[in-house]
């Protein structure tokens, strides 16, 4: 890269992202010309800034902004709920202040609300879960497998997650793998994310999938990830799920310039 790239680092329940304000046309051209290898290097925790993802805030003529997001391997990825929460807070800090946001992402239109300490993101409707031999799958903006386990604390998430992520039944794209345990009236989750190819401390679309998989009726569900708690509100309509909201904190951790 031969230009300066101001960035902000955000974390959403431990899921961390490098965010770039690319609304300026020149900056937009610069960041959209980054190669997959350059984005991966920015996300590298030893040679770059470090992050589970790389997210762009882009101008859009019909929405408050457009979200463009990439995995830490540099590839453009499907919807990221935690990343969207980070981007809404980032947009607010960059001067885009709204009582109610409308933005567009890879899976279409979303709504959002920002309040002190919490960001609310409205996610896409989910028609139903799909049973497989490995567990139940859901498309919550990204494809997720939910596998119920016991003793989640000591479960080999990376080893088992990598096997299932690359299972022939989910190829060629692969799938995000979530291991879920219900214990003492609480729901716990650990996630292996494709594109990161490791366990992350939290995954928003995975938390939504876990809430839908473990809930028998409409309402609000709290899910405990390693990085913190997230809430999911939804309405259950037969096998389908409507009016899904992901709710949780997101905060700026630092900022800098990549040269």
CA pair distance 1, 19, nearest whole angstrom: 17
Q: Which of 40, 42, 80, 244 is catalytic?
A: 80
Retrieve residue 15's tokens. 């899921």
CA distances from 244 to 122, 141, 183, 235 (A): 6, 11, 24, 7
CA pair distance 94, 120, nearest whole angstrom: 18
The yes-or-no answer on residue 80 being catalytic is yes
CA dihedral (48, 54, 57, 59) positive or negative: positive
Q: Which of 42, 123, 203, 210 is catalytic?
A: 203
The yes-or-no answer on residue 77 being catalytic is no
Residues whose CB is less than 8 angstroms from the CB of residue 83 and which lie 6 or more positions away in sequence, other chains included: 12, 15, 17, 53, 55, 67, 69, 204
Residues marked active site are found at: 80, 203
């Amino acid at each position: 890269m031969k230009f300066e790239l101001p960035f902000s680092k955000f974390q959403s329940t431990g899921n961390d992202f490098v965010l770039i304000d690319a609304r300026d046309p020149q900056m937009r051209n610069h960041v959209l010309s980054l190669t997959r290898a350059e984005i991966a290097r920015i996300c590298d925790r030893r040679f770059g800034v470090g992050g589970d993802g790389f997210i762009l805030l882009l101008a859009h003529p019909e929405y408050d902004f457009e979200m463009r997001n990439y995995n830490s391997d540099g590839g453009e990825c499907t919807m990221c709920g935690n990343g969207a929460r980070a981007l809404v807070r980032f947009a607010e800090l960059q001067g885009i202040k709204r009582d109610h946001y409308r933005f567009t992402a890879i899976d279409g239109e979303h709504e959002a609300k920002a309040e002190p300490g919490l960001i609310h993101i409205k996610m896409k409707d989910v028609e139903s879960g799909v049973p497989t031999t490995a567990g139940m799958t859901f498309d919550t903006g990204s494809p997720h497998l939910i596998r119920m386990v016991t003793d989640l604390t000591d479960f080999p998430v990376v080893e088992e997650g990598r096997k299932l992520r690359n299972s022939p039944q989910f190829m060629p794209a692969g799938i995000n793998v979530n291991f879920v345990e219900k214990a003492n009236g609480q729901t716990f989750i650990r996630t292996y994310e494709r594109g990161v190819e490791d366990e992350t401390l939290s995954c928003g679309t995975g938390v939504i999938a876990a809430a839908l998989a473990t809930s028998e009726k409409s309402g609000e569900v709290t899910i405990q990830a390693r990085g913190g708690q997230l809430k999911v509100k939804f309405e259950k309509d037969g096998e389908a799920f409507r009016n899904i909201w992901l709710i949780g904190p997101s905060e700026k951790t630092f900022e800098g310039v990549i040269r």
